[in-house]
Amino acid sequence: MRLILIPCCADKEDGGEGRSIVRSSLQAHLGKPQWDDLLEARRSVLAAIRSESRWTTGKYVKNRELKCSRDFGGSESGARYLPATQRYTGTLYKEAPTLADNASNEESKRSTVLVVSALYGLLHPDDEIQNYNLQMSESPAYRTWKQTLPETLLNFVTRNAVSEMFLLFGPSTAYLKVVMKALSPDLKRVVPRIVHFDVQSGSSYKTPQRHGQVLNYLLSGKRGQVADVAEKIV
């Protein structure tokens, strides 16, 4: 299996639907102990958000609506959900329509995409999630996922026979820092080839667009060169 890791994004679709059962495609790819640990880490991030008003006021006011429901291993009601591919509306996601279309070509079949999320840690693109505002560089997310993500990712690549990983993150972002911390010697022994797609020139606003184009090529099977992007072996 080829694993492609991408970041979540700040731009999100509002609203969603209530669910009695919350879909998670990721759960089936993790062992039960590791899934339970992931849910516990999500609850830790949510508790940190709720503990300080700074994370629920101003631009973070939407976090007041977050419920500790089944996507966190809780039982609170009233949560509203959209699949991650519908919730995230940033440039990277717009540039890769094959991600939402679940393309059935051979390239797409042999690839799995996971989203590195500031609130949820790891997500499958089909996973149903609530609306939120949080970045990986912010303390509730960073201090939790830099500790928890390494074990979760190692469990995933081991259980799913991942043979290569592609990283689509800006070079100076907290998302890449957290992922790089997860690339332990044990993980590198399991995954012999890890590549970071690095945007070489232009200001950082180009990075999501370029990475979206790379993702679209990877999933569509249309091999092509994306301008200003270099493949760096990690």
Is residue 77 within 8 A of residue 67, CB to CB? The reply is yes
Is residue 38 within 8 A of residue 159, CB to CB? The reply is no
Sign of CA pseudo-dihedral 133, 139, 142, 146: negative
So what's the pLDDT on residue 104? 46
So what's the pLDDT on residue 102? 57
Nearest Cα to Cα of residue 214 among 179, 168, 180, 164: 168
Q: How many domains does the chain have?
A: 1
So what's the pLDDT on residue 125? 94
Distances (CA, A) of 51 to 57, 66, 73, 89: 12, 13, 19, 28
Which residues span the domain enclosing 53?
Answer: 2-233
So what's the pLDDT on residue 105? 44
Name the phi and psi angles at 185, rounded to 5: -55, -35
What's the pTM value of the predicted model, to 2 decimals? Answer: 0.94
So what's the pLDDT on residue 103? 46
What own/partner pairs with CB < 8 Å and gap ≥ 24 does 218-227 have? 218/2, 218/4, 218/107, 218/111, 218/166, 219/4, 219/96, 219/98, 219/99, 219/103, 219/107, 219/108, 219/111, 219/113, 220/98, 220/103, 220/105, 220/107, 220/108, 221/105, 221/106, 221/107, 221/108
Nearest Cα to Cα of residue 136 among 173, 169, 166, 87: 173
**Regions of the chain where pLDDT drops below 50:** 103-106, 108
So what's the pLDDT on residue 45? 98
Residue 232 carries which DSSP code?
A: E
Is residue 209 within 8 A of residue 95, CB to CB? The reply is yes
